[in-house]
Copies of this chain bind each other. A is one copy, B any other.
Amino acid sequence: MGSKERIQRLKEETRNNILDAALQIAQEEGWQALSMRKIADAIEYTAPIIYEYFANKEGILLELTSRGYILLGAKVEAARNAHEHPADQMEAMWIAYWDFAFEHKEFYQIMYGVEMICCEVKKALPEAERVSRMYDDVIRQLITKVEPDEDLICRKYYTFWSIVHGLISINLVQKGTNEEMNQHILRDALKGIIRFIND
């Protein structure tokens, strides 16, 4: 009865097709244009069969969000591994974050609220937690204090995150701003925070 596995594989394939189709539609027309019927069209089925693979539309979005975090995690990790000193790591990691946001706009949008799923559900994603832990680790090394206050680390993380995310959001919504200037702002702000991280 080897066909059991073959069928399993086929099922997994259509599951992936659904996700791929959803992402492609989002890339081409934006998340607001994504509909179950459009996905069904793309995978050459009718809409109801999607519900055999996902509980609902939000289920698809959640899975894509998760995959986005995995992708981001890989990028951030690579950036960190490319440097020795924590200060360099920190800067590279945030620039990697920045690059990810613009290389994968659609992912970034579902991951960070520009079009959002319920926050409670997303907070529980382990893939998301992994990313933030990587940042925390490096921040911990940057702080020279002997006993690294957990609250301080969290605060610094949010400071970094806020400015990067804020700059990205502003650019995603109000596009048409100067690309070069953004890089300037980003690097300036990062260096500033890193420099005074022990305040």
Interface residues, chain A, with chain B CB atoms under 8 Å away: 112-114, 116, 119, 122-123, 151, 154-155, 158-159, 161-167, 169-170, 172-177, 181-182, 184-185, 188-189, 192-193, 196, 199
User: Inside 8 A of A151's CB, which chain B residues have their CB?
Assistant: 181
User: This chain: how many copies in the complex?
Assistant: 2
**Within the assembled complex, what's the spacing in Å between the Cα atoms of A58 and B167?**
26
A167 touches B169 (CB 8 A): no
**Within the assembled complex, what's the spacing in Å between the Cα atoms of A181 and B153?**
12
Question: How distant is A180 from chain B, measured CB to nearest CB, in Å?
Answer: 10
**Within the assembled complex, what's the spacing in Å between the Cα atoms of A170 and B167?**
12
A185 touches B158 (CB 8 A): yes
B155 touches A161 (CB 8 A): no
Contact A162-B173, Cβ < 8 Å, known A113-B114, A116-B114: no
Question: How distant is A157 from chain B, measured CB to nearest CB, in Å?
Answer: 10
B173 touches A112 (CB 8 A): yes
**Within the assembled complex, what's the spacing in Å between the Cα atoms of A192 and B195?**
10
A170 touches B165 (CB 8 A): yes
**Within the assembled complex, what's the spacing in Å between the Cα atoms of A113 and B167?**
13
User: Inside 8 A of A184's CB, which chain B residues have their CB?
Assistant: 155
The one of B159, B181, B188 that contacts A189, using a Cβ cutoff of 8 Å: B159
**Within the assembled complex, what's the spacing in Å between the Cα atoms of A158 and B168?**
11
The one of B116, B169, B185 that contacts A166, using a Cβ cutoff of 8 Å: B169
> Which residue of chain B lies nearest to A193 when distances are taken between CB atoms in the complex?
B192
CB-defined A-B contacts under 8 Å, sample of 22: A112-B173, A113-B169, A113-B172, A113-B173, A114-B114, A116-B173, A119-B176, A123-B174, A154-B181, A155-B181, A155-B188, A158-B167, A158-B170, A158-B177, A161-B166, A162-B162, A162-B167, A162-B185, A164-B166, A165-B169, A166-B166, A192-B196
